[in-house]
Amino acid sequence: MNAPARTLSGADGLKRLSVATPAQPLKLDSGRVLENVEIAYETWGTLNADKSNVVVVCHALTGDQFAATPNPVTGRPAWWDRIVGPGMPVDTNRFFVICSNILGGCMGSTGPASKKPDGSYWGTDFPIITIADMARAQIALLERLGISDVFLCIGGSIGGMQVLEWTIQARDRVFAAVPIAVAPRQSAQNIGFYETGRQAIMADPNWRNGTYLAEGTRPEKGLAVARMAAHITYLSETALKRKFDRKLQDRQTKTFGFDADFQIESYLRHQGQTFVDRFDANSYLYITRAMDYFDLASEHGGVLANAFRGLNTRFCVFSFSSDWHYSPEENRDLVRALNAAGCETSYVNIETDKGHDAFFVEEPEFEAGLRGFVDAAANARGLPKARA
Amino acid sequence: MTSAPNTNAIRRADHVAIAQFINKGELVLDVGCGDGQLMELLQQERGARTRGLEVEQAGVNSCMSKGLAVVQGNADADLPVYPDDAYDVAILSKTIQELARPKFVLDELSRIARRVIVSFRNYGHWRVRTALLTTGRIPNLGHSTGWWSDGARRPCTARDMAELAAEAGLVIAAATAVNGKPVTGGSLGRLNWTADELVFVLERKKG
């Protein structure tokens, strides 16, 4: 059977459930509470009778719940149908897959672009949220769907941070976990890059101290610059050289001006421009702030291993050799802590020049390794093979 | 393509020799675990819990598809991140003679695990000695492109390995020829003559 879907609000066709009400508010790490929270989500596959085949996919910073099918609002293709779908490593013929838009996001879940009970936009009145708060809201969503145990929790980047929070919060209710291209704490370098992006947004006169939705303006220039700066960190120097090097864009010579002479400039401008069409600037502020605050060790007495001690979850961590956003070294810090905590842990560092974003694109060794881990875990969990 | 688990695969003799020293429920780290054959054997026939360390992608993927926990890494570099006494046993099966830093690795493993088991080719065997005497060359260096090439084996004998163990603060708790019965005590000289492949069980020196 498929999980029940009740559309609570919005005529946009997105599936949503209320996960917090004034009677049962969502308590946040900041000490504040949210009395009304809706989480938008999407599902694929069929929930089995004993509800043992549930996979939770956690999306990255600018992702959404449309991991395996196109987004009907933006028209963009599924962002992870290489991994999630019929016959894919996360096989929707075998598993019941749920992906939800994160708390603070802008694809139907409650966030700064949502309205308060009084009808005005949250904007920067929205409370600061953390990765743990996002996982809290997702766990509440699954409870509303009548699901307590998760076979697999998987995600990359900030999605991987959510995976780690899941294993800790839903203690021993997560059978297997796959954090990809992640770090147990946000580095100073990343905080620096995201602060640059936030300052670009706030410096845009159309940001209006965060009230642009009420005022009918959009800080598009600031948000585009934020995206351009961040996007560089998702690629690698080797790949930039391979794809663009110093090649000129549709011209034979330099123009001695500030037009996009170089292909890399044109590419980044395009990335920035297409991003502003689909993303809310305040959401970008809140989600990047949540990443900055992420430091699992500090939440567990300064010892990262303490976060995982005694967990029965089997882990498989993937990193990518050319990723400098969340480097192999940072992923190894996580693996070391998992090992020190005695968790059953696998770790794979994929050789690639595709940088942080490698997990979105064709990477055969990653897909083969992931398929092997997921299949073996499903067999260990006693899940029947997919029907052909 | 990754291969399916194959319980009918021909077992490596040194794996069988190592397995007899593993007890039920022990947590074992297999350093240089390849495609996970030894870990499977230890799980299935000795009831051990296993973790692997392997540098090659193909071996890592093969282990994961068998449901074996494996960390992709390099024994010469990655062992310091493991905590003290994390394992009951650490195993180097036909690996120690291929390492860049065998003493460093043995030091680290004896910190990480209470027992270290090594299997290795014994260059003290009488055939090797005879060959050296008659041909003037060391046989079986494990690399077709010459003793000087990368990855060429370190041609040590049983006595040489005992010396390394002592340097690392370890004692030989048991020793066996791969196709023989385990011995303890003063038989090292005889094993050094007669065994072409050896397994040493090393333990920390008491006190």
Give the per-residue pLDDT at B76.
83
Q: A351 and B78 in contact by Cβ < 8 A?
A: no
Sign of CA dihedral A147, A148, A152, A153: positive
A370 has pLDDT over 90? yes
Beta-carbon count within 10 A of B59 CB:
18
Position A298 scores a pLDDT of 94
In this prediction, residue B2 has a pLDDT band, given cuts at 50, 70 and 90, of very low
B83 CB within 8 Å of a chain A CB: yes
Active site residue A149: no
Counting the structural domains of chain B, the total is 1
Q: How confident is the model at residue A11 (pLDDT cuts 50, 70, 90)?
A: low
Interior/surface letters A206-230, b for 16+ CB within 10 angstroms, e for the rest: bbbebebbeeeebbbbbbbbbbbbb
Tell whether B111 lies on the interface with A, counting CB pairs under 8 A.
no
Q: How close is the nearest chain B Cα to the Cα of A322, in Å?
A: 16
Query: Which residues of chain A from 79 to 138 reach within 8 Å of chain B, CB to CB?
Result: none
Active-site residue flag, A346: no
Question: What's the CA gap between B96 and B161, in Å, rounded?
Answer: 10
Q: Distance (Å) from the C-alpha of residue A348 to the closest C-alpha of chain B?
A: 5
**Residue B149 banded pLDDT, cuts 50, 70, 90:** confident
| Nearest residue on chain A to B83, alpha-carbon basis | A340
Least trusted range by pLDDT, from A137-146, A260-269, A332-341: A332-341
Closest CA to A96 of A153, A144, A160, A48: A48
Distance from CA of A335 to the nearest CA of B (A): 8
Q: How far apart are CA A176 and CA A154, in angstroms?
A: 9
**Average pLDDT of the residues in A64-69:** 98
Name the residue among A345, A371, A376 with its Cβ closest to that of B71: A345
> Is A192 buried (19+), middle (13-18) or exposed (0-12) by CB count in 10 A?
exposed
Residue B190 lies in a domain: yes
B63 chain-A contacts, CB cut-off 8 A: 346
Q: Which residues contact A71 (CB under 8 A, 6 or more apart)?
A: A64, A77, A78, A107
A165 with A132: CB under 8 angstroms? Answer: yes
- In chain A, the domains with their CATH numbers are 15-187+297-381 (3.40.50.1820), 190-289 (1.10.1740.110)
Cα-flanking dihedrals φ and ψ of residue B54, to 5°? -145, 140
Chain A residues whose beta carbon lies within 8 Å of the beta carbon of residue B26: none
Phi/psi zone of residue B169: left (φ > 0), alpha (ψ -120 to 50 degrees), beta?
Answer: left
Q: Are B12 and B32 in contact (CB under 8 A)?
A: no
Quote the tokens at residue A231: 């996007």
**Is B70 part of the contact surface with chain A (CB cutoff 8 Å)?**
yes
Q: Check which CATH number belongs to the domain holding B61 and give it.
A: 3.40.50.150
Could A332 and B62 be called an inter-chain contact, meaning their C-beta atoms sit closer than 8 Å? no
A323 is catalytic: yes
B70 neighbourhood in chain A, CB within 8 Å: 346-347
Best mutation target, A373, A374, A381, A383, to test chain B (most B CBs within 10 A)? A373
Q: What is the mean pLDDT of residues A152-170?
A: 98
The verdict on A198 touching B (C-beta cutoff 8 Å) is no
Is B35 contained in some domain?
yes
Please tell me the distance from the alpha carbon of residue B182 to that of residue B180, in angstroms, as a whole number: 7
Element (H, E) at A41: strand A37-44
- Of all residues in chain B, the one with the smallest CA distance to A349 is B72
Instruction: Give B65's contacts in chain A (Cβ within 8 Å).
Output: 371-373, 375-376
Checking ipTM against 0.85, whether it exceeds it is yes
Contact A376 B62 (CB under 8 A): no
Whether residue B66 lies within 8 A of chain A, CB to CB, comes out as yes
Catalytic residue among A52, A157, A283, A319: A157
Tell me which chain A residue has its CA closest to the CA of residue B59. A369
pLDDT one-digit tens code per residue, A319-353: 999 999 999 999 999 999 998 898 999 999 999 99
Considering the domain boundaries, does residue B74 fall inside one? yes
- pLDDT of A378 above 60: yes
CB–CB contact A346 B70 (8 Å): yes
First to last CA, chain B: 50
Listed residue (A333, A356, A354) closest to A345, CA to CA: A333
Statement: residue B6 has pLDDT above 60: no
Q: pLDDT band at residue B186, thresholds of 50, 70 and 90?
A: low
Residue B8 covered by a domain: no
**Average pLDDT over chain B, rounded to whole?**
90
Write out pLDDT tens, residues A45-57.
999 999 999 999 9
**Angle made by CA atoms B76, B175, B75, in degrees to the nearest 5:** 10
Contact A315, A345 (CB under 8 A): yes
Q: What is the pLDDT of residue B81?
A: 79
Which pLDDT score is estimated for A328? 97
The reported pLDDT for the residue numbered B151 is 73
Closest among A246, A244, A202, A243 to A225, alpha carbons compared? A202
Residues 6+ apart with CB under 8 A from B116: B89, B90, B91, B92, B106, B109, B110, B170, B201, B202, B203
Q: What is the pLDDT of residue A5?
A: 36
Q: How distant is the alpha carbon of residue B22 from its chain centre? A: 13
Residue A13 pLDDT greater than 90, yes or no: no
Q: Is A115 helix (H, G, I), strand (E, B) or coil?
A: strand
Considering the domain boundaries, does residue B184 fall inside one?
yes
Q: What is the pLDDT of residues A273-298, one digit of tens each?
A: 999 999 999 999 999 999 999 999 99
Residue B151 in domain: no
Domain that holds residue B28: 13-125+157-204
pLDDT of residue A9: 47
Is B28 within a domain? yes
For B39-51, write each residue's pLDDT tens digit: 999 999 999 999 9
Tell me the nearest-neighbour CA distance from B118 into chain A, angstroms.
22
Helix axes A188-203, A220-234, angle to 10 degrees: 160
